[in-house]
Amino acid sequence: RCRWFSQIGLVAQVREDILGSSIAYLATEAYQEVERAAEERRAQLVVQTAERTRWRREAAESGRRQRELRRRELYDEFFRHDIEDARNRNHDVVARREMMARLLHDVYAPQITKEWHHHEYFIDKARKTAIDVVSGAAKKKYGERF
């Protein structure tokens, strides 16, 4: 009879070990699934942020493109109007050249000047940065003598 109780105790102990292992395995799997879902959510948020940024950038580019197209259409309309006006008045070649010169001076020259100043700004900034770097290296190498 004592042996029988010890066998029942042994079976109960084995059963508890198996049950504990099963519960531990299920808890580990559940934890890993929660971690995977959290990682997937983080990745989804990164993708959504990147998409929103891309959409904003595309919208800004589209707006710039539309403004540029409208500006070009306006300049073309000015040009057509001036040409038509010159034809209607039977202007000579000199008058047409004056009209073209006025168009170039009033419309295109400000754009070219604006772009030139924009490029000049960056060239000047690069030049100043290069001078600062060289001066810093010289002071470091030669000390205060430089």
Question: Model confidence over 75-101: pLDDT tens digits?
Answer: 788 777 777 776 776 656 666 667 777
3-state helix, strand, coil in the chain (%, to 5): 95, 0, 5
- What does the domain layout of the chain look like in residue ranges? 1-70
Q: What tokens does 68 get?
A: 């540029």
Distance CA 77, CA 85 (A): 12
- Tokens 């800004």, located at residue: 60
Task: Answer left, alpha or beta for residue 143, where phi above 0 means left and psi between -120 and 50 means alpha.
Answer: left
CB contact at 8 A, 78 and 107: yes
Distance CA 94, CA 99 (A): 9
Helix (H) or strand (E) holding 91: none
**For each of the chain's 146 residues, which pLDDT tens digit applies?**
556 656 667 777 878 888 888 899 999 999 999 999 999 999 999 999 999 999 999 988 888 888 888 888 887 887 777 777 767 766 566 666 677 777 777 777 777 777 777 777 777 777 777 777 777 767 776 666 55
Residues comprising the chain, all counted:
146
